[in-house]
Amino acid sequence: MSDPVLSSTSDGVTTVTINRPDALNALDVPTKVGLREALSRAGGDPDCRAVLLAGAGERAFCVGQDLREHVRNLQTEAPLKTVREHYNPLARVLFDLDKPVVAAVRGVAAGAGASLAFLADFRVGGPSTSFSMAFAGIGLAADTGASYLLPRLVGRARAAELLMLNRTVRAAEASELGLLTELVETDEEVAKRAAELAARLASGPTVAYGQIKRQLRVGGTFADALDCEADAQAASGATADHRAAVEAFVNKQKPSFEGR
């Protein structure tokens, strides 16, 4: 039996793949745990400077909860305890990851699978890409961060529409709405383009990227944002990358970043 999650690191990019193509990369407990562990390892790995998140096969990025497993769990007293036990920790790890995350969204992204894509910083899709929130279709509310993420991507009114009416968003509309950050011409290009983008990010100023992600996570007032910016610039300004880049600029050279 193959591992439900594959992870490997090369040239600064950690590729994490949901590896259940026959089940459209649906999320059962071993897959949820494996994803969380792989992403946690990537976050603490100094050799990882960017993460590429993908689904195996051609039909789906991830269709969300494995409903066969869910049907079995409905016989228990707390059939949705997996939200607190698995989905929330998984979403938190991905949300808090200070390294850039690129999702290669080929095929269907539904339910928690769509949420995982929205947790990435960049989402590359092709003609077969589609998003469906799916939750209301089986009588559920949103989870895996969708209630927080979707309004920030498309606005509250459109988020209510997509969550309540369970409407499928095809590739072109997903690009227009901002659910995709890049739409390529063919499905075959999705993995290649996502890998190129992850490689570009892996060669960038890793510490600064992490500080930018922290800035974008900040809530509260304008004053809170200014305080966060001051802290972020202090951390970024102390890096070897910043010093080398300024020197390169003065000497009219292209900067080379080492991620420190």
pLDDT of residue 133: 97
Structure tokens at 161: 């529409």
What is the spatial distance between Cα 90 and Cα 70, in angstroms, rounded to a whole number?
Answer: 18
Nearest Cα neighbor of 123 from 99, 110, 106 is 106
- 1-40, pLDDT tens digit by residue? 689 999 999 999 999 999 999 999 999 999 999 999 999 9
> Which residues share a beta bridge with 10?
13
pLDDT digits (tens, 9 = 90+) for 38-84: 999 999 999 999 999 999 999 999 999 998 877 777 777 666 789 99
Q: Are strands 60-62 and 101-105 parallel, antiparallel or unpaired?
A: unpaired
Calpha distance 156→13 (Å, rounded) = 34
Q: State the pLDDT at residue 78.
A: 67
Q: How far apart are CA 146 and CA 253, in angstroms?
A: 43
Question: In 3D, which of 147, 145, 172, 169 has the Cα closest to residue 159?
Answer: 147
Summarize pLDDT for 176-220 with one digit per residue, the tens.
999 999 999 999 999 999 999 999 999 999 999 999 999 999 888
Q: For residue 151, is pLDDT > 90?
A: yes
Share of the chain above pLDDT 90, in %: 86
Residue 80 has a pLDDT of 78
Q: To the nearest whole number, what is the mean pLDDT of the chain?
A: 94
Structure-block tokens of residue 103? 């999702």
pTM exceeds cut of 0.75: yes
Domains in the chain (CATH in brackets) are 5-202 (3.90.226.10), 206-250 (no CATH)
CA angle in degrees (0–180, nearest 5) for 231-236-237: 95
